[in-house]
A and B are shown apart, each in its own frame.
Chain A
């Protein structure tokens, strides 16, 4: 079992590094921690825009949406809704779908097509409002 002080320390480290999901598993124990999306700055008032990281749900090579998937490309500045497809993590021909965890504005910065991402890596930062 993890003691509460250990869990608190792990949570603090997750907040410090913008990690929103963490799972630790060994044959005897399993710990799964989730945090709300990290904020890029510390908003002081409701309505203040801030950006939140969209993290990779697995390991794979990044592919933006809008190629051969029959979906429109995402234009920077456009709005996306929670659950909307942002892109894919490709492992050979298999594509794991990356979706927006919350409503937001499409950023200009994305990984290069084919960039290797690991679990928890930042895919992009969606600008949103507090």
Chain B
């Protein structure tokens, strides 16, 4: 069990989301960076769907009420356990009374904390994710506050080497790139934008502004004009959709995306790259790279292979730990 000592009021309990209720107007929610969420769970031997704590703003402090294993994954934030510096991806044991401190984030924008078996919150409509807009799921349907206690689903600590385990995650920036690359498909109204707008969208960077949350990020860059004016009828939207309101500056819909919207859609970021958006900070540059559905499907296969490599590698380490540690 861990007690929240200090935490900005924006952190929520999330899993991989609440699918299947789009038609009822209920969005998916779930971890913004599903890759870091899965990494934290896998390091502890948890099911990847187990609930973790998503922290989008630091500093933060937690105290362990009992001896337990935990995992940390995501942004680099000078995390310490009783003053001992931890790697940004780490799973190990905390003794009762030890203090976990997260400092300012230097690269990346979200940190995930996993506990053995997952964080013990009730499942609602098939998920433990916090549905912030509707006020249910997760930890009493709200953000975490100082004084809150998070319990693990399992009392026993995970099998881990004494000094802990870490994991290699893909790099946020590709070598030599100034911008974070996001692979995207052209969306329904793509061709209604001017040729100059389309060229700008696919070749120039867009900066992440401070106007961003779990619902979406507003971006700033070359304005995107359409050949035709006028509003569209509201239509279904999903996380990853890039909409362009009247001002010509794009918005990316994210994990707490609305289910309907009326702005024209120029593109849709593919799901394997959502984690890159989640880890982008205000001021970071994003650049969209056009892919087709075949390339998008290949990216999904690539991501599945990476996750399988993690699972196999961590299973092998746990087996070694059982006989050697």
On whether the beta carbons of B310 and A96 are closer than 8 Å, the reply is no
**Whole-angstrom CA separation of A68 from B317 in the bound complex:** 21
> Which A residues are CB-close (under 8 A) to B168?
68, 90, 93-95
Judged by a CB distance under 8 angstroms, whether B233 is at the interface is: no
List A83-110 residues whose CB lies under 8 Å from chain B.
Answer: 83-85, 88, 90-99
Choose one: B78, B87, B171; the contact of A65 (CB below 8 Å): B87
On whether the beta carbons of A58 and B313 are closer than 8 Å, the reply is no
Q: How far in angstroms is the closest Cβ of chain B from A122?
A: 16
On whether the beta carbons of A96 and B77 are closer than 8 Å, the reply is no
On whether the beta carbons of A95 and B163 are closer than 8 Å, the reply is no
Judged by a CB distance under 8 angstroms, whether A5 is at the interface is: no
Interface size class of A (residues with CB under 8 A): 20 to 34
Judged by a CB distance under 8 angstroms, whether B200 is at the interface is: no
> Which B residues are CB-close (under 8 A) to A93?
167-168, 306, 309-310, 313
> Which A residues are CB-close (under 8 A) to B314?
94
Given contacts A85-B86, A94-B314, contact A70 B163 (CB under 8 A): no
Judged by a CB distance under 8 angstroms, whether A23 is at the interface is: yes
Closest to B314 in A: A94
Please count the residue pairs between chain A and chain B whose beta carbons lie under 8 angstroms apart in the complex.
81
Judged by a CB distance under 8 angstroms, whether B164 is at the interface is: yes
On whether the beta carbons of B106 and A70 are closer than 8 Å, the reply is yes
> Which B residues are CB-close (under 8 A) to A8?
none
Closest to A72 in B: B85
Judged by a CB distance under 8 angstroms, whether A57 is at the interface is: yes
Closest to A82 in B: B84
Judged by a CB distance under 8 angstroms, whether B208 is at the interface is: no
**Whole-angstrom CA separation of A119 from B321 in the bound complex:** 13
Given contacts A81-B84, A96-B317, contact A70 B165 (CB under 8 A): no
On whether the beta carbons of A71 and B163 are closer than 8 Å, the reply is no
Judged by a CB distance under 8 angstroms, whether B162 is at the interface is: yes
Given contacts A93-B167, A95-B166, A95-B167, contact A69 B161 (CB under 8 A): no
16 new A-B contacts at CB < 8 Å, known A69-B88, A69-B89, A70-B106 = A25-B323, A58-B324, A68-B168, A68-B169, A70-B78, A70-B107, A71-B85, A71-B88, A85-B85, A85-B86, A90-B168, A93-B313, A94-B310, A95-B167, A96-B317, A97-B92
- Which B residues have a C-beta under 8 Å from some C-beta of A? 75-78, 84-90, 92, 106-107, 161-169, 171, 306, 309-310, 312-314, 316-317, 320, 323-324
A-B contact pairs, 13 of them (CB 8 A): A57-B163, A68-B169, A68-B171, A69-B88, A71-B85, A85-B85, A85-B87, A91-B313, A94-B310, A95-B87, A95-B165, A97-B163, A97-B164
- Which A residues have a C-beta under 8 Å from some C-beta of B? 23, 25, 57-58, 65, 68-71, 81, 83-85, 88, 90-99, 119
